[in-house]
Chain A
Amino acid sequence: MSGDKDIAILGVGMHPWGKWGRDFTEYGMVAARAALADANIQWRDIQYVAGADTIRNGYPGFIAGATFAQKLGWNGVRISSNYAACASGAQALDSARAQILAGFCDVALVIGADTTPKGFFAPVGGGDRKADPDWQRFHVLGATNPVYFALFARRRMDMYGATAADFAQVKVKNSKHGLNNPNARFKKVNTIKDVINSPVVSDPLRLLDICATSDGAAAMIVCSMEFARKHRALAENSNAEALCRVKAVGTVTPRYPQSVLELPDIASDSTAVVPAPDRKYKDSIAWSAYEQAGIGPEDISLAEVYDLSTALELDWYEHIGLCAEGEAEGLLRSGATTIGGRIPVNPSGGLACFGEAIPAQAISQVCELVWQLRGQAGERQVEGATVGITANQGLFGHGSSVIVAR
């Protein structure tokens, strides 16, 4: 693992996930204040704000960087506002990292917050937007997000023999992981029966297989390694914790042809002339991070992956290289991905316990890595964790993978 492109994570903070319908900036401010306090740093010392946008909260959501700079008190900082669907938070982190590594700033706030409507996500904005693929998939087909989750789930069943009980087991595992997580929205142990008895939404996925949409916020303070060393030498009360370093931020787009049908597309690219790349898109997200960090899946202590559905968590085991294609059910059944196992996945409880607060989610995944690597995760602690990876997927060719080490 080389270190010349490392940045440090000085502090992390979240507002618990839930469903209250309040102004998203309220949640964001709680997360920002928590991250500043955790870093033992003042807002007036922050030099850059990278905001992750929300598209469901009007103008303030589109300009998240400015919105939070103003809320915290204009102090002339430069900002960026990042939209990359569910990968927005990681893109914000990537923006701050680039500024720090280029030497344009020393210390930055990365922040995302959201307030979500009830029920299925629908296209944002009204009217007949016949050229918008997001409008097309809803209008022509009724292809909601769970439809796409279900296509992947069904493929696991028909190709690899996955069962509804396997999918349910992911929820059971994550519900136990998140039970004592103070930031989780759903804190109740689910049984396989609970999941199987919940209504089918998009066959074969049931209500409890699919993540909810939530309100929530996450923030972190990132800085150059040099700033971190100076700051920690001055600040007495942060010396006890291991310093967490961002080793990689993978935010690659697909390579043509994108041969797998992904949200929100109605068709895949054509493989008639150019063959599909050896590494398919969701594999390439994690592998780009592994290559940046100079490590491989065998070096990982824990993973936070995007369980938009239970079955998608199984897909991620394969995409991030924890096992070969078709072997995720076996890995789950072996207990390896449960806390106490070889490679715990979603020790936070994952989206199963949080629901998705889009711009905050990729940041919250990194927050969990930091708490785990510092040994501050309480009852969900992964013993001896040294390196963690996140993986996340967004619409329209977005995705991210972040590797953090101590």
Chain B
Amino acid sequence: MSDTSPVASTLTRVPIIEGWFTDDVDAPHLIGSKCPLCGTFVFPPRNGDCPSPFCDSTTLDSTPLSRRGKVWSYTENRYTPPPPYVATDPFEPYALAAVELEAEGIVVLGKVATGILAVDLQVGMEMQLELDVSHRDADHEYMVYVWAPATPLSTTTGTATTTDAGGAA
């Protein structure tokens, strides 16, 4: 996660999408919505009506979501997704994980931290939310939430690629 250090200090750091996560690099949280009437959760965050057909609330409150959860499933993109994805050149494969947050009872899909690939993941694995750089342009560094193993992978069990992640710093 050393990529989150301000390597290019002239770039303004901005979230890739407004309002989905806090900008606290050390302990970021996803920002969800919570129904003030029935208590159910929603992600991505939104205003307006409660999603439950059993509830009549027409408002939702903003709430931080748990930073930790367990892998529901995962994959790894080996080809560049089409726009509006902004890809690095050359494209580097990256993993995605759907992580189940126990308290909220929701599964949230996210990218996995740079350097951690599918081979390093498993259903049920404990993950933690972090921030990473998605991409940069001339003036901005776009930040995105990512899932990272809650317990750092041991370099003895990690793959070559995982070990290289340290070198991506």
Binding site for B on A (CB under 8 A): 119-120, 122-123, 128, 130, 135-144, 147, 150-152, 154-155, 158-159, 199-205, 256-257, 259-261, 265-274
Contacts and interface: CB of A to CB of B under 8 A. Distances in A.
Contacts, number: 148
B75 A150 contact: yes
Contacts of B106: 267-272
Contacts of A199: 78
Given A130-B18, A272-B39, A139 B84 contact: yes
Nearest to A155: B73
B1 interface: no
Contacts of B77: 142, 144, 147, 202
A135 B122 CA distance: 28
21 contacts: A140-B20, A140-B134, A141-B85, A141-B110, A142-B85, A143-B96, A147-B77, A151-B73, A151-B98, A154-B118, A155-B123, A158-B124, A199-B78, A202-B75, A203-B76, A257-B40, A257-B105, A270-B41, A270-B104, A270-B106, A273-B38
Contact of B40 (A135, A141, A273): A273
A266 B81 CA distance: 16
Contacts of B134: 140
Interface of B: 16-18, 20, 35, 38-44, 51-54, 72-87, 94-96, 98, 103-111, 118, 122-124, 134, 144
A199 to B, nearest CB: 7
A150 B94 CA distance: 14
A136 B72 CA distance: 21
A204 B20 CA distance: 29
Given A272-B41, A273-B39, A274-B54, A154 B16 contact: no
B82 A120 contact: yes
A365 B120 CA distance: 39
Given A139-B86, A144-B77, A267-B44, A155 B105 contact: no
Contacts of B105: 257, 259, 270-273
Contacts of A202: 75-78
The 7 closest A-B pairs by CB, nearest first: A142-B81, A271-B105, A150-B75, A158-B123, A272-B105, A122-B82, A203-B76
A29 to B, nearest CB: 31
Contact of B81 (A130, A138, A150, A272): A138
A199 B93 CA distance: 13
A142 B72 CA distance: 18
A282 to B, nearest CB: 15
Contacts of B18: 130
B122 A158 contact: yes
A52 B158 CA distance: 49
A268 B51 CA distance: 12
A203 B78 contact: yes
A141 B110 CA distance: 6
Contacts of B84: 122-123, 128, 135, 138-139
A259 B106 CA distance: 7
A203 B75 contact: yes
Given A142-B96, A159-B123, A273-B35, 18 more contacts: A119-B82, A123-B84, A128-B84, A136-B44, A138-B81, A138-B82, A139-B17, A139-B84, A142-B81, A147-B77, A151-B109, A201-B78, A202-B76, A267-B44, A270-B41, A271-B105, A272-B40, A272-B105
Nearest to A199: B78
A364 B39 CA distance: 44
A308 B71 CA distance: 23
B61 to A, nearest CB: 14
Contacts of A150: 75
B72 A140 contact: no
